[in-house]
Structure 1
C-alpha cells in the first residue's frame, strides 16, 4: 500500500486548496443565514463514522476547516477500518460553531466519497490477492471533472495505482488514435472511401503512431497502446511501446495472448521490456478471471466510478 511509504498528503498539488475554497464558495455564495442564527460561540463537533469502510480524504477534510479557522484532531489514522455495527468517533473539530457548520457539508461530502473509493479499491485488491495475483490494480481517467485529485487520492489510500492523472501523464494511444492515424495514411484508398479499415491498415498505423509519440514525449514519457489483437500487440511492442493494453479480450483470450506475447518476445531477447495491461469491464465479480502471471496490470473504473460512500456525520456541542 502506498501509504506505508509515507504521508500521502505530501503528494497533493497546491491547487487542491484552491478547489476547497471554490467548493466552500459554491456551498455558501452569499449570506449564511443559519450561521447568523448560531453565532460565533466556541464549540466542537465529533466526526462519527457510521458505516463500514476505511477512512480516506483526511487532508481535504482538514483543509476545509483550516480555511475556516477551525482545527481538527484525528483519533484514527487514514486507512483505518470502520465497523458496520457502531458509530466510531474518528475525529474532533474545534472552532466557532458557525464556522464548523459552514464547513460541515463540504467536508463530509469529500470524506464520504473519498472513503467510499478507498473502500471499494481495497476490496477488489483483496479479491485479487486471494487468488494469488501479485500484479498492479489501477484506476482509470474516468473521473469526475473537478474532483479527480480526491478520487485518485482515494485509490491510493485503498492500495491501488492511480494510473495516469491526465493526458500529459503518459501517452496512451487508444483505438481512436490508431484508427485516425490509419485513416489518414489510407485516405486515398478504396477501403477508406467505403468507410472500412482492415486489420492490416490498423496494425500498419501503430508503429508510426508510437514513433511520433516517442519523438515528442522524449525518454521520460511512457507510451501505451490499446490493442484488439495479438497482431496489433506485436506491432506496438516491435515499435517500442512500453505498455500494451489488451482491451475487451475474453479471460481465455487474455491468458493465451499474454502468455504468447511474453514467451515470443523473451525468445527475441526482449523479456521485461514491456508491460501487459488488461482493461474493459473489470469488477469484483470477474477481475480474478483475468489475473494470471503474465498480466502485469488490471485497470478498471469500477473502483472509483459509481461507487457508494462511507457514511459520516458531525455532532456539535458547546465548549465551556
Structure 2
C-alpha cells in the first residue's frame, strides 16, 4: 500500500515554485516511454504507477512485478502534460532503477541456491530442498517496504518487516539476560500467535534453543561445516524437525553454494539489498 503523503514527501525534494528546468517547456500533451537499458527482473511498478497517477499522467503498464525484461524493453507507455512528465521523471526512474536492481540481485542469489542444491542432490543422491533467500532489516530508512517487495519480486523472502513481526533474541539480549532467561521472558510476553527466533553462535546453543521451544534458530556466523555439525547434533537429539534453521552472517555470492547445501531452511543476508546495483532505466519523449 502506497500512501498519498508518502508520494508527496518524495516529490517535495524536487518540486519548487521557481522550477525553471521543467516549466520552460510549453504545456502540451506528450507521449513517452520508460524502458530498461539492461536485462533485469522488474520491480517498483506499483510505486511508479502511484506517482504517475498522482501527477495525472496516463500510462499503460507493459510488464508485471517479477517479470524478466530484456535490454530495450518498455515498462510503461505514458501520455500526459509535458511539465508533469518532466517533474515525475527522476522520482519514477529512481524507484524503478533501485528496486529492479534489488529484484535482479535477489534473483541471482536464488538461482545460485537452486542450482547448487540441484547439483548437490545429483552428486549425493539426496533430496535436499533449496533454502529460502531472505532479506534483513538493513534497508534504506523510509523505503523499506518497497525494498522488501523488490526482494519478493526477485524470488526471495521478506523476513520480518518490523520489530513486531517476530520476537528475535540476538546476542545483545543474551548478553544482558542470559540465554535461557531471555527465551523464557520472551515466551511469557509474546502472544501465542507470534514466533520466537533465537540466535546461536555455537551448536550447543542451537540444541538448547530447540529444546526450549524456539520456532527458529539463527546460526550466526557459522561456517558451512559448523552448520552441518549442528544439523547432525539436532538430528541426534530428535530436535531437527521441531525448528527452522536460518543461516546468517558473512554470506556472499562467492560462498553461497556451500551454505545452500549445508542443511538450513533459510539464508538471510543484507547483501540482497545493500549490494544491489541500480539498473539503468530511462524515459524518452516520443516524437
TM-score (norm 2): 0.91
User: Gaps spanning 5+ residues in structure 1: where?
Assistant: 1-11, 182-204
CA distance in 1, matches of 2:151, 2:251: 16
1:296-320 Cα shifts (integer Å, max 9, x gaps): 11111111113101111000136xx
Q: For residues 191-202 of structure 1, what are the structure 2 equivalents within 5 Å?
A: none
CA distance in 1, matches of 2:48, 2:7: 9
1:190-244 Cα shifts (integer Å, max 9, x gaps): xxxxxxxxxxxxxxx2221112112222111111111110121122222211111
CA distance in 1, matches of 2:5, 2:145: 12
SS of match in other structure, 1:46? strand
Residues 57 and 78, structure 2, Cα contact 8 Å, conserved in 1: yes
Residue 163 (structure 1) aligned with residue 159 (structure 2): yes
Which residue of 74, 79, 82 maps to 1:97? 82
List structure 1 runs of 4+ shifted beyond 6 angstroms.
Answer: none
Cα 1:30–1:177 change in 2 (3 A) is farther
Residues 255 and 290, structure 1, Cα contact 8 Å, conserved in 2: no
In the alignment, which residue of structure 1 is the partner of 2:254?
Answer: 285
In the alignment, which residue of structure 2 is the partner of 1:272?
Answer: 241
Q: For residues 169-318 of structure 1, what are the structure 2 equivalents within 5 Å?
A: 169-181=165-177, 205-261=178-234, 263-266=235-238, 270-292=239-261, 294-317=263-286
How far residue 275 of structure 1 moved from its aligned partner, in angstroms, is 0.8
In the alignment, which residue of structure 2 is the partner of 1:77?
Answer: 64
CA distance in 1, matches of 2:31, 2:44: 20
Residues 62 and 71, structure 1, Cα contact 8 Å, conserved in 2: no
TM-score (norm 1): 0.82
How far residue 137 of structure 1 moved from its aligned partner, in angstroms, is 1.2
In the alignment, which residue of structure 1 is the partner of 2:35?
Answer: 48
Number of aligned residues? 276
- RMSD, aligned α-carbons: 1.6
Q: For residues 11-50 of structure 1, what are the structure 2 equivalents within 5 Å?
A: 12=1, 14-15=2-3, 17-50=4-37
Residues 125 and 159, structure 1, Cα contact 8 Å, conserved in 2: yes
User: Gaps spanning 5+ residues in structure 2: where?
Assistant: 118-128
More deviation in 224-233 or 25-34? 25-34
How far residue 169 of structure 1 moved from its aligned partner, in angstroms, is 1.1
In the alignment, which residue of structure 2 is the partner of 1:125?
Answer: 110
Cα 1:245–1:168 change in 2 (3 A) is same
In the alignment, which residue of structure 2 is the partner of 1:111?
Answer: 96
Which residue of 113, 129, 137 maps to 1:141? 137
